[in-house]
Amino acid sequence: MSKIAAIVGRFLIALIFVISGASKLMDVASTETMIVAAGLPGGLAIPVGLFELIAGLCLAAGFMVRLVSVLLIGFVAATILFFHNKFTDPMQQIMALKNVAIIGGLCLAFAHSQMWSHYYAIARERRGELEARNAEDRIRDAELRAARAEARADAIAEDRATTAYVEATPGTVVTPTVHRERRWFDW
C-alpha cells in the first residue's frame, strides 16, 4: 500500500512540473520577461521549460527518480532564491513555503526510490538463497534415490547369490522364501 501511495505522490509532484514546463513553453515571451525581471540572463525560457517538462515526465514515469529528484530540488531552491525571496510580502512568503513543501516531497521521492531499490536487492538475494537451497534439496534427494537403488541392487544380487549357492550344493533342501511386502521405511 505504501508503494501505491508513493507512486501517486510522485505523480502528483511531477504534475506540477509538467504543467509548469508546458505553460512556459506555450508562452515563451512572458516567461522570458519574468526571468529577465528576476535579474537572470535572457534566453533561459525554453531550456527552463524543457527541463521542467522532461524532469516532470521522468519523475512521473519513475525513470531515474533519484537523479531527477536531486535536480528538481536544486531547481526549486533556485526558484525560491531568485523569484520568491521577498518574505515580507505575504504572497511571496506563501509561494516560498509552497516550494519548500515541494522540496520536501521531492526528498521523500528520493528516499522512497532508494528504499525500493534496497528492497529489490534484498528480494533478489533471498530468491538466490532459495534457489541454492532448492538445488541442495534436489541433490540430496537424488543421492538418497541412488543409495536406495544401490541397496535394492545389492539385495537382489545377494538373493541371487544365495539361490545359486543353494542350487549348487548337493543334498540341500530348498524351502520357498516368503517375500514380505516392502514398506515405505524399508526403502
Whether residue 151 is contained in a domain is answered as no
Cα 95 to Cα 81: distance, rounded to the nearest angstrom:
11
φ, ψ at 39 (rounded to 5°): 90, 10
Q: Encode pLDDT of 126-161 as tens digits.
A: 888 888 899 999 999 999 998 888 888 888 877 777
How many CA atoms, within 13 angstroms, populate the side-chain half-sphere of residue 178?
1
**Residue 62 · residue 7 · CB < 8 Å:** yes
Give the number of domains in the chain: 1
Q: Encode pLDDT of 65-90 as tens digits.
A: 999 999 999 999 999 999 988 888 99
Whether residue 42 is contained in a domain is answered as yes
Non-local (6+) Cβ contacts of 167 within 8 A are: 174
pLDDT of residue 183: 58
Whether residue 173 is contained in a domain is answered as no
∠ at Cα 94 (52, 102), nearest 5°? 35
pLDDT of residue 150: 87
Cα 163 to Cα 165: distance, rounded to the nearest angstrom:
5
pLDDT of residue 105: 94
What does the block give as the cell for 100? Answer: 519548500
Whether residue 81 is contained in a domain is answered as yes
Confidence of residue 3 (pLDDT cuts 50, 70, 90): confident
Whether residue 102 is contained in a domain is answered as yes
Whether residue 88 is contained in a domain is answered as yes
Tell me the residue range of the domain where 66 lies.
2-111
Q: What is the DSSP letter of 176?
A: P
In order of 132, 134, 149, 183, the CA distances from 146 in angstroms are 21, 18, 5, 18
Confidence of residue 20 (pLDDT cuts 50, 70, 90): very high
How many CA atoms, within 13 angstroms, populate the side-chain half-sphere of residue 69?
23
Whether residue 147 is contained in a domain is answered as no
Q: Residue 167 carries which side chain, given as an amino acid letter?
A: E
Q: Is the pLDDT of residue 116 over 60?
A: no
Whether residue 158 is contained in a domain is answered as no
When pLDDT is averaged across residues 19-43 and rounded to a whole number, the result is 93
